[in-house]
A and B are shown apart, each in its own frame.
Chain A
Amino acid sequence: MRHSDRDIRWLPGFNWVTLFFFLFLYLPLIILVVFSFNASRSATVWDGFSLQWYAKAFANDDIQRATKNSLIIAVFATINATTLATMAALALGRNRRVRRKQMFSGLIILPLMIPEIVTAVATLTFFAAIGLSLGLGNIIIAHTVFCIPFAYLPIRARLQGMDESLEAAARDLYSGKWATLRLVTLPLLMPGIISGAMLAFIISLDDFIITLMVAEAGSTTLPIYIYSLVRIGITPEVNAISTVLLGISIIIVTVSYLIGKKT
């Protein structure tokens, strides 16, 4: 982290703030990981190293069912939201015939602007009113809605920064509209799409209030399960499953980073 004094942007202290920031961000996670290896039942007092909580977590049907539900919901909500968001971003960013762009982009950001508890209650009431009962489908729909803006923002930003001349060149070479989209625009847009999808996935995976409200029989998700455990005090079992998820995330993030670096 050494900086030459000649770097025009260098400001004293900012590196320390950044260091502090990352410590702050990771301190709870370090505690989480450490206590997942705790030998005793306590998530507070260190009692020696043990892997028993991992064994327990892998043998616990409820945790696995909840994790499976969470992953299914997150995957489908992400695919739906990213598809819709990509289409919307292309329409707003590339299609000159779309009218009222201001209104449409406001509409797409809307779910971001409403406090979660309001969305939760409103969605529950609405689902009840129309008698929607699709099991996990209810949650997937609700998640898709609030994931759209999270997927949309990075894609739109990428599109804004993208040079339109490449697409124009492709069209000049008599490439069709769809071929241009498939062979030029989408590949260029991919980093935006990937980061949008990742954001949507994470947001869906973490949602508690909306899920609690719209969940039906057999649709307990990981956050709801974890919430029920907080009631008695978290055991290292939850730490163990969180550590596993954290490990998966680090792998996915690293792989996507390495892929991104290659292209």
Chain B
Amino acid sequence: MKKITVTALGLTLCAGMATAEGELFLYNWTDYTAPELIEKFEAETGISVTLDTYDSNETLLAKLQSGATGYDIVVPSHNFVKIFVSEGLLQPINASELADYGNLSADFTSPPWDEGNTYTVPWQWGTTSFTVNTDVYGGDVNSYDVLFQPPAELQGKIGMFKSPDEVVSMALISLGLPLCNENPEDMQKVMELLQAQKPHVKTYNSDGILERLVSGDAAVHQNWNGYSIRARDENAAMKYAFPKEGVITWADNVAVPVGAPNYDNAIKFIEFVMKPENIAVQSNFAGYSNGISGSEAHMSEALKSAHELSPPEGTPLVFSETCSAKAIDLQNRVWTALLQ
């Protein structure tokens, strides 16, 4: 027993030892950081990077609110940036003063969620819709009817996210209603739509989407465009839908939390991901677009030609919003009533 204690102590000491150039603690979404990107950053700067992951904006929020410090970089979604700022959880990075600020593409220069890029620079952006196995269903996929009023082939083979926010938002768009809805009548319609769909749903689960699609357990699954590319890599019949009613769009952003132990290294990392050749490495890994112009030149052929990244002309891209407490409450009542 004594020996084990000593060994363990030794291990702890090793873990606690910092390298000469310092460290960087990265806190990012699960499966959302390219290992090659980290290796490149470590090789160029000599900073050793430690990566931890979270599974939702809410987890990140709860962690930072509870005062958990130690992270240098976090990656909140655009609709959460204002919450993080108003709760005083982020510190300014004044991106406009950084060397490569000009690299940011027009859409992400001073975006509505962070005017002047005081707190964030873009990481990746993408869309949320659904993936259809065209071996099972050969019709037009670009409509929410495929998901919410499924044809016979797809009934009982639907996979939905397990997230009230994403499911309700999609239902709202398909009904042509405003997001973050505070109107009870509108939410009543959402509930009726989801309840009618439920008998055809196989599972509500945001994990293991790839496995279910590839194994055939699900023939249509709510999905993000980057994950849809991975499904298509395994089975060419997987098609990502761009419903004509509109597609939910999101953008995740690199930010520095208050109390970051290695602020300077965090800035180095931010400067690093603002270079097109670096962020392209990340895009190649995750399959999502980024907000840095000139990065296309460094993207893989497969990514450049992916239909998942190019919405058809005329399909509205709808950026999700920061919902009020009232809207969240209505959304949860719908969700609980649906799954009671």
A contacting B, Cβ–Cβ less than 8 Å: yes
The yes or no answer to B310 lying at the interface (CB within 8 A) is: no
Q: Which residue of B lies closest to A130 (CB)?
A: B67
Which A residues are in CB contact (< 8 Å) with B65?
128
The yes or no answer to A105 lying at the interface (CB within 8 A) is: no
Give the CA-CA distance A42 to B53 in the complex, in Å. Answer: 23
Instruction: Give 1 or 0 for each of A68-107: 1 = CB within 8 Å of chain B CB.
Output: 1101100110010000000000000000000000000000
A72 interface neighbour in B11, B206, B210, Cβ under 8 Å: B11
Inter-chain contact B70/A216, CB cutoff 8 Å: yes
Inter-chain contact A220/B52, CB cutoff 8 Å: yes
A124 interface neighbour in B8, B11, B66, B215, Cβ under 8 Å: B66
B62 to chain A, nearest CB (A): 8
Instruction: Give 1 or 0 for each of A220-258: 1 = CB within 8 Å of chain B CB.
Output: 100010011111111000000000000000000000000
Inter-chain contact B27/A217, CB cutoff 8 Å: yes
Which B residues are in CB contact (< 8 Å) with A136?
12, 15
Which B residues are in CB contact (< 8 Å) with A68?
11, 15
Give the CA-CA distance A229 to B55 in the complex, in Å. Answer: 11
Which B residues are in CB contact (< 8 Å) with A160?
none
Which B residues are in CB contact (< 8 Å) with A124?
62, 66
A226 to chain B, nearest CB (A): 11
Which residues of chain A (161-194) have a CB below 8 Å from chain B? none
B72 to chain A, nearest CB (A): 8
Which B residues are in CB contact (< 8 Å) with A44?
211, 215
The yes or no answer to B1 lying at the interface (CB within 8 A) is: yes
The yes or no answer to A62 lying at the interface (CB within 8 A) is: yes
Give the CA-CA distance A239 to B288 in the complex, in Å. Answer: 28
Which A residues are in CB contact (< 8 Å) with B55?
227-228, 231
Inter-chain contact B70/A217, CB cutoff 8 Å: yes
A71 interface neighbour in B8, B66, B210, Cβ under 8 Å: B8
Which B residues are in CB contact (< 8 Å) with A133?
67-70
Inter-chain contact B70/A230, CB cutoff 8 Å: no
Q: Which residue of A lies closest to B62 (CB)?
A: A124
Which A residues are in CB contact (< 8 Å) with B67?
128, 131, 133
Give the CA-CA distance A136 to B11 in the complex, in Å. Answer: 12
A231 interface neighbour in B50, B52, B70, B207, Cβ under 8 Å: B207
Which A residues are in CB contact (< 8 Å) with B15?
68-69, 72, 136, 218
The yes or no answer to B4 lying at the interface (CB within 8 A) is: yes
Q: Given A62-B51, A124-B66: A218 and B12 within 8 A (CB)?
A: no
**Among the interface residues A44, A75, A136, A231, which one has the most CB atoms of the partner chain B within 10 A?**
A231
Which residues of chain A (38-76) have a CB below 8 Å from chain B? 42-44, 62, 65, 68-69, 71-72, 75-76
Give the CA-CA distance A230 to B244 in the complex, in Å. Answer: 32
Give the CA-CA distance A227 to B208 in the complex, in Å. Answer: 10
Inter-chain contact B215/A216, CB cutoff 8 Å: no
B323 to chain A, nearest CB (A): 23
A25 to chain B, nearest CB (A): 24
Which B residues are in CB contact (< 8 Å) with A125?
66
The yes or no answer to B336 lying at the interface (CB within 8 A) is: no
The yes or no answer to B324 lying at the interface (CB within 8 A) is: no
A217 interface neighbour in B1, B4, B11, B50, Cβ under 8 Å: B50
Q: Given A79-B1, A231-B207: A218 and B68 within 8 A (CB)?
A: no
The yes or no answer to B145 lying at the interface (CB within 8 A) is: no
The yes or no answer to A21 lying at the interface (CB within 8 A) is: no
Which residues of chain A (117-157) have a CB below 8 Å from chain B? 124-125, 127-128, 131, 133, 135-136
Give the CA-CA distance A136 to B70 in the complex, in Å. Answer: 12
B57 to chain A, nearest CB (A): 15
Q: Given A135-B70, A220-B52: A228 and B30 within 8 A (CB)?
A: yes
Inter-chain contact A233/B68, CB cutoff 8 Å: no
A72 to chain B, nearest CB (A): 5
The yes or no answer to B135 lying at the interface (CB within 8 A) is: no
A37 to chain B, nearest CB (A): 19
Which A residues are in CB contact (< 8 Å) with B211?
43-44, 233-234
Inter-chain contact A230/B208, CB cutoff 8 Å: yes
The yes or no answer to A215 lying at the interface (CB within 8 A) is: yes
Inter-chain contact A228/B53, CB cutoff 8 Å: yes
Instruction: Give 1 or 0 for each of B1-12: 1 = CB within 8 Å of chain A CB.
Output: 100110010011
Q: Which 4 A-B pairs have the closest CB atoms?
A: A217-B70, A128-B66, A233-B211, A228-B30
Interface residues of B (CB under 8 A from A): 1, 4-5, 8, 11-12, 15, 25, 27, 30-31, 50-53, 55, 62, 65-71, 206-208, 210-211, 214-215, 227, 230
**What are some 23 contacts across the A-B interface (CB < 8 A)?**
A43-B211, A68-B11, A72-B15, A79-B1, A124-B62, A124-B66, A127-B66, A131-B67, A133-B67, A133-B68, A136-B15, A216-B68, A217-B27, A217-B50, A218-B15, A218-B52, A220-B51, A220-B52, A227-B55, A231-B31, A231-B207, A232-B208, A234-B211
Task: A231-B31, A232-B210, A234-B211 are known; give 4 further A-B pairs, CB within 8 A.
Answer: A62-B51, A68-B15, A72-B15, A216-B70
